[in-house]
Every structure is written in C-alpha cells, then in structure tokens.
Amino acid sequence: MRDGLGPARVRLFGGPVLAELQARFGAAARAKVRAGEVVDADGVVVTETTVLPAGAHVYLYRELRDEVPVPFDMPVLHRDDDIVVVDKPHFLATMPRGRHVAQTALVRLRRELDLPELSPAHRLDRLTAGVLVFTTRREVRGAYQSLFAAGAVRKTYVARAAVDPGLALPTVVRSRIVKRRGHLQAVEEPGEPNAETLVEHCGDGLYRLTPSTGRTHQLRVHMAALGVPIFGDPLYPEVIDVAPDDFSRPLQLLALRLEFDDPVTGRRREFVSDRRLQDGCVSDAPRAALPGSRPRR
C-alpha cells in the first residue's frame, strides 16, 4: 500500500514487458522498471529484458493525476475491530474509479486512519451522501460484503423533490433497470423487474425511499420515472454538464439509515447519518480534521 493505494495489476498481451508497458503507459514505464518498481505475480522484479507470456500479470503503482479536492468532511460514526462506519459527503466516490482515485472515501480513510486493509462492504454513488460501511481487515471482508450482496441490510434514504398533487403515495415502484458500460444513465427496459423501491412522501417535498434491491442509480431512476426527479440530479431526467469543481448543487439524496444483524458478532446494528436535507441543501460543512469515532449500537 502506498498513500492509501495498492498497486495496479496489468494483464499482458505477451512478449517483452518493457515494450508493452511503454506502449500503454508512456515513458514513465521505463523509469519504473529501472527503479525496480514493477514486479510479476511471484514478486520477482521486472527488468528491461523480462519476457512474459500472454495472460501474465505485472504490478506497478500508478502515477496519480491532479484531482479537485472534495471540500467536505467525512465523520466517523462508528469504529471497532471489524468495521468503520462513516457519514460520506456528496461528491466523494466510494472507491477509486476513472478520474477519481485519491479523492475517494476509501483512499482518504486508509490514509487518515492508517488502515491499509480497509475495504468497502458496499457502495454509495459519488453524488449520494450518508452512511457507508467499510471492513477493517480481509478476514471479515467476505462476511460483510455477502450480507449486502444478499440484500440482508435494511436501507432507508431520504430525498427532496417537487410535489405532484396527482401522484398517489405511498407506492412501490418496480421496474427493470439496466446500466450499460460507457453510458452515464441507467435506463428502464421491458422485462422481469429487478429493482423495487417503496416511495413515501413525508411532507414539504421530503420523501422516504426504502429500496429492497440495489441496482445502479435505482432511486434516482425511480423518482424520475414518477415525474419527481430528485433535486440537484445532473443525470435524471436529462444529463447536465457540471464542472468538476462545482459543489454548489449537491444531489438531494441521503442514505439516512442502515440496519442489519452483524455477521461476525450476531448483534443488531443500526447506523444513522447526522446529515440532514434542509431547505433544499445538505448540511455539508467545509472539510476539517477527521473527528474521532462515536459509538453506535
């Protein structure tokens, strides 16, 4: 682990390793090979004359691009030997992907808490704020990830959107949602439903959303389909181009509460976000030092 990041794994086409790395990563690859920073799957240092077969892997640390800092804090709601639970702000991705690497919840927490084996038990969209669970060590990672994958976690979200007097609520929205690689939006298609959300109006444009499935962008797609897209959504119903450093209009969607039976201890767990949707704005504050953990049952 280096600065909260593990090495990247590169699958080779086969042949001289240096030539392939230079073709894919440029001149910096030669410097990494000469510095002994590239190794194969057995940990053997790759040299300028190393040849490996197709399908072999080498490992190297990526050169990080400059990223726009996300200027909001991420309080720790709970920390023990198995998990860390945080109150993720808007605009911070859960884990490295695409242009977001250092400015992600995972990397930031690994650095600040000195937990190199920290791993997310589930994910929140980059634009969604709220309760996010990480495992602290690899021995328990599978148990918590399986819990979320199996849908054994009760999730409650709140959102702000327009009020449609003609919309009959509460209602359960069921549809088939598909998210294709290379497309920003997920879409609803005919076929067997794979996404289900209970939508309730709590008054004054505040909605409680209880999903029983976890498709990508599910809540955003379902609210847009009802004709009341979530305030601040740059993707639904239409894609809006937003500058990377524009934090002025956060998506009004908050993962308010998580409840589950702990797969390691057997205890009932409940974690609640301290953030609130207020007057169309989320109460994010400028980033400060990471607070200490506060126990939750």
**Residues recognised as catalytic:** 125
Amino acid at 244: P
| Tokens standing for residue 100 | 């977001």
Indicate the SS3 state at residue 134: strand
Cα gap 229→223, rounded to integer Å: 5
Indicate the SS3 state at residue 28: helix
Q: How far apart are the first and last CA of the chain?
A: 32
The answer to whether 220 and 253 have CB atoms below 8 angstroms apart is yes
Could you please report the per-residue DSSP string of 66-84?
Answer: P-----B---EEEE-SSEE
Rg for the chain, CA atoms, rounded? 22
- Strands 129-135 and 253-261, sheet pairing: parallel
The CB density around residue 200, as the number of other CB atoms within 10 Å, is 13
